């Protein structure tokens, strides 16, 4: 019997994360995903996937706490088997303000989740997947943002800067582990219809600014998930350090 393909998706209980969990399970992965507070949503998602014949399991873990990240990876090791792929999806933005209104506490929260968390998760994944460490190789996809290119002036310059850091991390790690059987790439979603906009105080943002998108519409979480799953798979076997912009041309 073939060993299951174990995939970890951080922040998988809603939005792009949940869409990727669904798409990955349909593609035959055994999916582990983390969540922080949305336990009910995570359980509902697991039940939905089980009913469809897939395998998905939720683990509560805060991606800003190193000890919880270690516990998450140890849980995968002991309960599920060798990890073959990681999607660094967990991320946050806060309410729209200018840089001259930001304080250090806000910056710490944003960069801890959007930069330090992916670094630590990638570190643990590399330890398990790299041929240098006795692993069988694998793939990592970082979920960045078109904001890394656009800067988000007057809204979320801190968020955009954190995603710019994630892009640089993607490039550097991709080159660092390319000879160790690990492919590292990223997707950069644009204006996507997800709950995150409401969570930072602007539920109608996509419809408000979609005129800036050449396609004149917002995207869906499912469209982003398709790009993520493609980068994880063998169809993208020669893609290393690449970025797919899922942004409607913006």
Mean pLDDT value across residues 1-12: 87
User: What are 110-130's pLDDT values in tens digits?
Assistant: 999 999 999 999 999 999 999
246 φ/ψ angles, rounded to the nearest 5 degrees: -105, 75
* Residues belonging to the active site: 159
Neighbouring C-beta atoms of residue 249, cutoff 10 Å: 9
Q: Where are the domains of the chain?
A: 5-190+220-246
With bands split at pLDDT 50, 70 and 90, how would you rate the model's confidence at 3? confident
Lowest mean pLDDT among 130-134, 176-180, 208-212: 208-212
Mean pLDDT value across residues 161-181: 98
CATH 3.30.70.100: does it fit domain 5-190+220-246? no
Burial 43-73 (b: 16+ CB within 10 A, else e): eebbeebeeeebbbbbbebbbbeeebbeebb
pLDDT value of residue 196: 76
How much of the chain, in percent, has pLDDT values that exceed 90? 93
Q: Look up residue 120 and give its two tokens.
A: 């630590």
pLDDT value of residue 35: 98
- Residue 43 clears pLDDT 90, i.e. is over it: yes
pLDDT, mean over the chain: 96
- Residue 2 clears pLDDT 60, i.e. is over it: no
CA 137/CA 160 separation, integer angstroms: 31
* 89 and 186 Cβ atoms separated by less than 8 Å: no
User: What are 176-197's pLDDT values in tens digits?
Assistant: 999 999 999 999 999 999 987 6
Mean pLDDT value across residues 195-207: 78
With bands split at pLDDT 50, 70 and 90, how would you rate the model's confidence at 1? very low
225, containing H or E segment: helix 221-232
- Residue 165 clears pLDDT 50, i.e. is over it: yes
User: What are 217-247's pLDDT values in tens digits?
Assistant: 999 999 999 999 999 999 999 999 999 999 9
Rounded to two decimals, what is the model's pTM?
0.96
């Amino acid at each position: 019997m073939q060993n299951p393909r174990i995939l970890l998706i951080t922040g998988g209980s809603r939005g792009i994360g949940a869409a990727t969990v669904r798409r990955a399970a349909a593609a035959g992965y055994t999916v582990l995903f983390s969540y922080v507070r949305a336990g009910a949503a995570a359980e509902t998602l697991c039940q939905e996937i089980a009913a469809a014949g897939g395998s998905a399991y939720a683990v509560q873990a805060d991606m800003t706490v190193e000890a919880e990240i270690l516990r998450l990876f140890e849980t995968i090791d002991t309960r599920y088997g060798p990890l073959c792929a990681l999607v660094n999806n967990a991320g946050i933005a806060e309410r729209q303000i200018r840089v001259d209104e930001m304080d250090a506490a806000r910056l710490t929260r944003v960069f801890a989740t959007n930069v330090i968390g992916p670094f630590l998760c990638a570190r643990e994944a590399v330890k398990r997947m790299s041929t240098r460490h006795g692993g069988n190789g694998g793939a990592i996809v970082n979920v960045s943002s078109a904001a890394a290119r656009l800067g988000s002036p007057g809204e979320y310059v801190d968020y955009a800067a954190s995603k710019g850091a994630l892009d640089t991390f993607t490039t550097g790690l991709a080159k660092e582990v390319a000879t160790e059987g690990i492919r590292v790439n990223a997707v950069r979603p644009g204006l996507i219809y997800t709950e995150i906009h409401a969570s930072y105080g602007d539920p109608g943002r996509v419809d408000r600014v979609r005129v800036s998108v050449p396609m004149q519409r917002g995207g869906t979480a499912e469209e982003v998930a398709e790009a993520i799953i493609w980068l994880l798979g063998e169809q993208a076997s020669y893609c290393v350090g690449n970025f797919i912009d899922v942004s409607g041309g913006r």
